[in-house]
Structure 1
């Protein structure tokens, strides 16, 4: 019976990893796919590789936090309870993926494990409190860092990058397999600047894939690791393989949502947001804190737009009490490569509104599901462990 439960637990962990691949590929490579820089297949391949690298190098620290430190007694991680925890994590994420929405895997997983701890009286409130504090602080840090970049550095970055979206058809970056050794192949009419821009977008996606691996591998394997029945390396390999399957299959839905439907976010802005968000996630993962990339990235977009919009007002004007109309739509004020006016030279009416950047209906659906998915995981797990006697607690 024990061996059967272990197999079921591993299979459930694979199901969770599959859905993690589906929910994290979109945020990482949605901009590159949406701009027709690379194909969905190439995005899936790169995501799989860099997710594994992040999971293998920094990921074990987050696995330890969720699998050993979030609860005061790891004995509650029985094979039977692990199946239930992973079922609620994977099931909730599957609902988000089916809706085409990349939900927060970290919040979903922490919610399910914390629910098990609360139901059994073994939750380590100090560790949970630390995680929640960072969940509050990290988006604020992302907002202000992005705000400073938006006000003082975004125009220079925008003029330097100059990445233009390509028409549907052959992607900017592809792989030439005609020779003995495959090599990168670029668009026929691409100049050096366009090639640099395309490689930049892809490199940022790889960075995001790496940061996802550092934080999200724990969401699939931490409960199984907590039992001590399977070693860390084996679980990372299994989890990463499951993520790869999700990248090549169900991730197509979130790639469409993040690449085309939700926003017209300029690629320059996407690069800035990705660098800031990935940097924060990797930093938190290195100290063992699971972080929500989706939430941090959302606040970074708002902060970047706020900083860009405040360029209509100088500090001396602000000191005199002049108000600044603020909108994330300011990120669409100029095209990639276009030089922006100096601070104070623009008029507020020159700044587009937020509706020019976000699709309201899709944005509302994404925000709703990002809250619903972790709630389903947490509430469902708590009620199950608290009131169903089959788990023996």
Structure 2
């Protein structure tokens, strides 16, 4: 029986890793894919490599501590409870991935483990409270910082960078697999500044993939490792392999959602989102908080889209009762030698429309699902451990 439970636990851990790959690849490389810097296949390959590096180097520290601080006693982690916890984590994440919405792996995993601790009376409420407070504050910070940048500074940044991703042509960076060793290939018509910006946004995506590996590998393997039946290296390799499969398959849906469905994301916007998101994630990691970078990155994209959309306004009474859409940027242009066009002089096709920059319906679906998925994991796990007798609590 213990061998059967261990096999079930390992299979469930693989399922969790698969869904981690699906839910975290989008926030890390969605901006780069949306701006047509790299393809989805390249994004999956980079995510797999850098997730493994993070999991193998720093990940073991997180695996060691995940099951100790959140609960008062680790005796509640058994093969049976671990299999159930991983089942609810993987199942809830699969719901989000199937809907094309990347959910927070950390929130989903902490929710399931907290449910186990609550059902058994072993939950450390102080640690949970500290984590939850940061989970609420961090996405709000990301939204408003990105919103302010989108509304007041984006045109100036865009003029400085002077990059627009060509979403219809070939990607700026691709992997050439014609030789024995795969190599990066740059698009022939890209200028130096454009290539520099492309490399920056890809590098930041790699950083976020690395950060994901340091924290999220624990969500898949920590409960199994706590039993002492499988060594750390084997579990890391198993979990990273599952993450890679998820990155190449189900992550395509979340890449679409975060790369193009929420907001029209040119390369400049991709860089802004990546810088804001990675900065917040690194800061939280430095503070020892398990960062929900899925939610932070998503809300940064939403905030930037909202900020850019609110630059477009309508002024009435300009032409005898007509309503003429006017870009706020046109009214606040301050570049030397640049003349702000008079009201009514703008060409309609040159004015960004709010619907092109920010999709409220998709945004609402994303935010709703990112709350539903952890709720499914938490409520399902609590009801199972509280009322099903086979767990012995």
The answer to whether the superposition gives a TM-score over 0.5 is yes
- What does residue 196 of structure 2 align with? 196
For the structure 1 residues 226 and 280, does the alpha-carbon distance in structure 2 shift closer, same or farther, using more than 3 Å as the test? Answer: farther
- What does residue 168 of structure 1 align with? 168
User: Could you tell me whether the CA contact under 8 Å between 1:68 and 1:74 is conserved in 2?
Assistant: yes
Taking the aligned partners of 2:118 and 2:294, their CA distance within structure 1 comes to: 26
For the structure 1 residues 190 and 299, does the alpha-carbon distance in structure 2 shift closer, same or farther, using more than 3 Å as the test? Answer: closer
User: Could you tell me whether the CA contact under 8 Å between 1:66 and 1:218 is conserved in 2?
Assistant: yes
Structure 2 residue matching 1:101: 3-state secondary structure = coil
- What does residue 376 of structure 2 align with? 376
Moved more, 261-270 or 12-21: 261-270
- What does residue 341 of structure 1 align with? 333
- What does residue 66 of structure 1 align with? 66
- What does residue 268 of structure 2 align with? 268
Q: Deviations over 1:365-393 (max 9, x none)?
A: 21221111111100000000000001111
How do 1:126-137 and structure 2 match up within 5 A? Answer: 126-137=126-137
For the structure 1 residues 273 and 348, does the alpha-carbon distance in structure 2 shift closer, same or farther, using more than 3 Å as the test? Answer: farther
Taking the aligned partners of 2:30 and 2:182, their CA distance within structure 1 comes to: 24
* Structure with max Cα Rg: 2
- The reply on whether 1:97 has 2:97 as its aligned counterpart is yes
Taking the aligned partners of 2:211 and 2:341, their CA distance within structure 1 comes to: 37
Displacement of 1:21 after TM fit? Answer: 0.3
Taking the aligned partners of 1:142 and 1:348, their CA distance within structure 2 comes to: 33
Taking the aligned partners of 1:101 and 1:308, their CA distance within structure 2 comes to: 22
Moved more, 31-40 or 228-237: 228-237
User: Could you tell me whether the CA contact under 8 Å between 1:61 and 1:286 is conserved in 2?
Assistant: no
Q: Deviations over 1:306-351 (max 9, x none)?
A: 8779999xxxxxxxxxxxxxxxxx9x977xxx9x8239x8999999
> Structure 2 regions of 5+ residues with no counterpart?
313-325
> Structure 1 regions of 5+ residues with no counterpart?
313-329
For the structure 1 residues 168 and 300, does the alpha-carbon distance in structure 2 shift closer, same or farther, using more than 3 Å as the test? Answer: closer
Displacement of 1:127 after TM fit? Answer: 1.2
For the structure 1 residues 291 and 166, does the alpha-carbon distance in structure 2 shift closer, same or farther, using more than 3 Å as the test? Answer: same
Taking the aligned partners of 1:68 and 1:341, their CA distance within structure 2 comes to: 55
- What does residue 363 of structure 2 align with? 363
User: Could you tell me whether the CA contact under 8 Å between 1:142 and 1:296 is conserved in 2?
Assistant: yes
How do 1:8-157 and structure 2 match up within 5 A? Answer: 8-143=8-143, 145-146=145-146, 154-157=154-157
Displacement of 1:155 after TM fit? Answer: 4.4
Moved more, 203-212 or 371-380: 203-212
Displacement of 1:102 after TM fit? Answer: 0.6
Structure 2 residue matching 1:185: 3-state secondary structure = strand
Displacement of 1:248 after TM fit? Answer: 0.9
Moved more, 177-186 or 208-217: 177-186
Moved more, 97-106 or 165-174: 165-174
Taking the aligned partners of 2:56 and 2:343, their CA distance within structure 1 comes to: 48
Displacement of 1:80 after TM fit? Answer: 0.3
TM-score under structure 1 length normalisation: 0.84
Displacement of 1:158 after TM fit? Answer: 2.1
For the structure 1 residues 372 and 69, does the alpha-carbon distance in structure 2 shift closer, same or farther, using more than 3 Å as the test? Answer: same
Taking the aligned partners of 1:78 and 1:348, their CA distance within structure 2 comes to: 69
Taking the aligned partners of 2:148 and 2:328, their CA distance within structure 1 comes to: 17
Q: CA RMSD in A?
A: 3.1
Displacement of 1:7 after TM fit? Answer: 1.8
For the structure 1 residues 22 and 373, does the alpha-carbon distance in structure 2 shift closer, same or farther, using more than 3 Å as the test? Answer: same
- What does residue 208 of structure 1 align with? 208
Taking the aligned partners of 1:166 and 1:150, their CA distance within structure 2 comes to: 20
For the structure 1 residues 191 and 310, does the alpha-carbon distance in structure 2 shift closer, same or farther, using more than 3 Å as the test? Answer: same
User: Could you tell me whether the CA contact under 8 Å between 1:63 and 1:221 is conserved in 2?
Assistant: yes
User: Could you tell me whether the CA contact under 8 Å between 1:65 and 1:288 is conserved in 2?
Assistant: no
Aligned length: 370
User: Could you tell me whether the CA contact under 8 Å between 1:26 and 1:259 is conserved in 2?
Assistant: yes
Structure 2 residue matching 1:184: 3-state secondary structure = strand
User: Could you tell me whether the CA contact under 8 Å between 1:143 and 1:302 is conserved in 2?
Assistant: yes
Moved more, 130-139 or 295-304: 295-304
Taking the aligned partners of 2:287 and 2:278, their CA distance within structure 1 comes to: 15
User: Could you tell me whether the CA contact under 8 Å between 2:306 and 2:358 is conserved in 1?
Assistant: no
Moved more, 123-132 or 251-260: 251-260
For the structure 1 residues 246 and 197, does the alpha-carbon distance in structure 2 shift closer, same or farther, using more than 3 Å as the test? Answer: same
- The reply on whether 1:289 has 2:289 as its aligned counterpart is yes
- What does residue 318 of structure 2 align with? none
